[in-house]
Protein backbone atom coordinates (compact mmCIF):
# COMPACT_ATOMS: atom_id res chain seq x y z
CA UNK A 1 0.00 0.00 0.00
CA UNK A 2 2.79 2.42 0.88
CA UNK A 3 4.58 1.82 -2.41
CA UNK A 4 1.37 2.39 -4.36
CA UNK A 5 0.51 5.59 -2.48
CA UNK A 6 4.06 6.90 -2.82
CA UNK A 7 4.22 6.05 -6.51
CA UNK A 8 1.02 7.94 -7.26
CA UNK A 9 1.23 10.92 -4.93
CA UNK A 10 4.83 11.86 -5.61
CA UNK A 11 3.64 12.95 -9.04
CA UNK A 12 1.14 15.37 -7.54
CA UNK A 13 3.78 16.85 -5.26
CA UNK A 14 6.15 17.17 -8.24
CA UNK A 15 3.56 19.23 -10.12
CA UNK A 16 3.44 21.58 -7.11
CA UNK A 17 7.24 21.73 -6.99
CA UNK A 18 7.33 22.55 -10.69
CA UNK A 19 4.79 25.33 -10.18
CA UNK A 20 6.98 26.76 -7.41
CA UNK A 21 10.00 26.66 -9.71
CA UNK A 22 8.01 28.22 -12.55
CA UNK A 23 6.95 31.04 -10.26
CA UNK A 24 10.59 31.57 -9.24
CA UNK A 25 9.93 30.84 -5.56
CA UNK A 26 13.31 29.18 -5.02
CA UNK A 27 14.74 26.07 -3.44
CA UNK A 28 13.36 26.73 0.04
CA UNK A 29 9.80 26.65 -1.32
CA UNK A 30 10.48 23.38 -3.13
CA UNK A 31 12.03 21.89 0.01
CA UNK A 32 8.95 22.91 2.00
CA UNK A 33 6.67 21.28 -0.57
CA UNK A 34 8.72 18.08 -0.52
CA UNK A 35 8.68 17.96 3.28
CA UNK A 36 4.98 18.69 3.60
CA UNK A 37 4.25 16.45 0.63
CA UNK A 38 5.97 13.54 2.33
CA UNK A 39 3.84 14.17 5.42
CA UNK A 40 0.68 14.11 3.27
CA UNK A 41 1.74 10.93 1.50
CA UNK A 42 2.56 9.27 4.81
CA UNK A 43 -0.77 10.24 6.41
CA UNK A 44 -2.75 8.83 3.49
CA UNK A 45 -0.60 5.72 3.22
CA UNK A 46 -1.07 4.99 6.94
CA UNK A 47 -4.83 5.64 6.73
CA UNK A 48 -5.05 3.07 3.94
CA UNK A 49 -3.08 0.45 5.89
CA UNK A 50 0.41 1.12 4.59
CA UNK A 51 3.54 1.31 6.71
CA UNK A 52 4.89 4.77 7.44
CA UNK A 53 8.41 3.33 7.14
CA UNK A 54 7.79 2.49 3.50
CA UNK A 55 7.22 6.14 2.67
CA UNK A 56 10.39 7.26 4.43
CA UNK A 57 12.47 4.99 2.18
CA UNK A 58 13.26 4.82 -1.53
CA UNK A 59 9.68 4.06 -2.56
CA UNK A 60 8.50 7.25 -0.85
CA UNK A 61 11.05 9.94 -0.04
CA UNK A 62 13.65 8.79 -2.55
CA UNK A 63 11.25 8.79 -5.48
CA UNK A 64 9.59 12.00 -4.24
CA UNK A 65 12.86 13.95 -4.18
CA UNK A 66 13.87 12.75 -7.63
CA UNK A 67 10.47 13.47 -9.17
CA UNK A 68 10.29 16.95 -7.59
CA UNK A 69 13.80 18.02 -8.57
CA UNK A 70 14.89 15.95 -11.56
CA UNK A 71 15.32 17.67 -14.92
CA UNK A 72 13.63 14.72 -16.68
CA UNK A 73 10.54 14.65 -14.44
CA UNK A 74 7.43 14.94 -16.62
CA UNK A 75 5.27 15.98 -13.66
CA UNK A 76 7.68 18.70 -12.55
CA UNK A 77 7.82 19.92 -16.17
CA UNK A 78 4.03 20.27 -16.30
CA UNK A 79 4.08 22.28 -13.07
CA UNK A 80 6.97 24.39 -14.34
CA UNK A 81 5.01 25.32 -17.47
CA UNK A 82 1.90 26.16 -15.45
CA UNK A 83 3.96 28.23 -13.03
CA UNK A 84 5.30 30.18 -16.01
CA UNK A 85 1.76 31.00 -17.07
CA UNK A 86 0.97 28.32 -19.66
CA UNK A 87 -2.40 26.62 -19.81
CA UNK A 88 -2.58 22.94 -18.91
CA UNK A 89 -4.09 22.02 -22.28
CA UNK A 90 -1.21 23.69 -24.14
CA UNK A 91 1.37 22.03 -21.94
CA UNK A 92 -0.14 18.58 -22.39
CA UNK A 93 -0.56 19.03 -26.15
CA UNK A 94 3.12 19.93 -26.51
CA UNK A 95 4.37 16.85 -24.64
CA UNK A 96 4.04 13.35 -26.05
CA UNK A 97 4.67 11.66 -22.70
CA UNK A 98 2.08 11.40 -19.95
CA UNK A 99 2.52 13.25 -16.67
CA UNK A 100 0.79 10.83 -14.31
CA UNK A 101 0.10 13.52 -11.72
CA UNK A 102 -2.52 15.14 -13.94
CA UNK A 103 -4.95 12.21 -14.32
CA UNK A 104 -4.26 11.17 -10.73
CA UNK A 105 -5.17 14.57 -9.27
CA UNK A 106 -8.91 14.18 -8.82
CA UNK A 107 -8.61 10.56 -7.70
CA UNK A 108 -6.07 11.51 -5.05
CA UNK A 109 -8.26 14.34 -3.74
CA UNK A 110 -11.30 12.04 -3.66
CA UNK A 111 -9.38 9.27 -1.90
CA UNK A 112 -8.11 11.73 0.72
CA UNK A 113 -11.68 12.89 1.40
CA UNK A 114 -12.96 9.32 1.68
CA UNK A 115 -10.10 8.40 4.03
CA UNK A 116 -10.60 11.58 6.09
CA UNK A 117 -7.02 12.76 5.50
CA UNK A 118 -6.16 16.44 5.04
CA UNK A 119 -4.01 16.90 1.94
CA UNK A 120 -3.64 20.62 1.19
CA UNK A 121 -1.05 20.17 -1.56
CA UNK A 122 -3.21 17.68 -3.43
CA UNK A 123 -6.22 19.99 -3.02
CA UNK A 124 -4.35 23.02 -4.37
CA UNK A 125 -2.81 21.12 -7.29
CA UNK A 126 -6.23 19.76 -8.22
CA UNK A 127 -7.61 23.30 -8.05
CA UNK A 128 -4.84 24.62 -10.29
CA UNK A 129 -5.21 21.86 -12.85
CA UNK A 130 -9.00 21.67 -13.07
CA UNK A 131 -10.74 24.50 -11.22
CA UNK A 132 -8.97 27.59 -12.52
CA UNK A 133 -7.12 28.43 -9.32
CA UNK A 134 -4.25 30.81 -9.83
CA UNK A 135 -0.91 29.09 -9.25
CA UNK A 136 0.65 32.00 -7.34
CA UNK A 137 -2.30 32.23 -4.95
CA UNK A 138 -2.39 28.46 -4.41
CA UNK A 139 1.32 28.29 -3.63
CA UNK A 140 1.04 31.30 -1.35
CA UNK A 141 -1.72 29.52 0.60
CA UNK A 142 0.39 26.39 0.90
CA UNK A 143 3.57 28.14 1.96
CA UNK A 144 1.83 30.49 4.38
CA UNK A 145 0.13 27.71 6.35
CA UNK A 146 0.56 27.91 10.10
CA UNK A 147 3.54 26.06 11.51
CA UNK A 148 2.66 22.73 13.05
CA UNK A 149 4.17 19.32 13.46
CA UNK A 150 4.30 17.31 10.25
CA UNK A 151 2.01 14.68 11.81
CA UNK A 152 -0.96 17.13 11.89
Catalytic residues: 10
Please name which of 93, 114, 129 lies closest in space to residue 16, comparing C-alpha atoms. Answer: 129
Distance CA 141, CA 36 (A): 13
Amino acid sequence: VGVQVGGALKNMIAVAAGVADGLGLGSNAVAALITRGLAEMTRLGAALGGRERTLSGLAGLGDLVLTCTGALSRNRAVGLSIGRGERLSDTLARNASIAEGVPTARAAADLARIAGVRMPIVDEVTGILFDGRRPAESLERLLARALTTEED
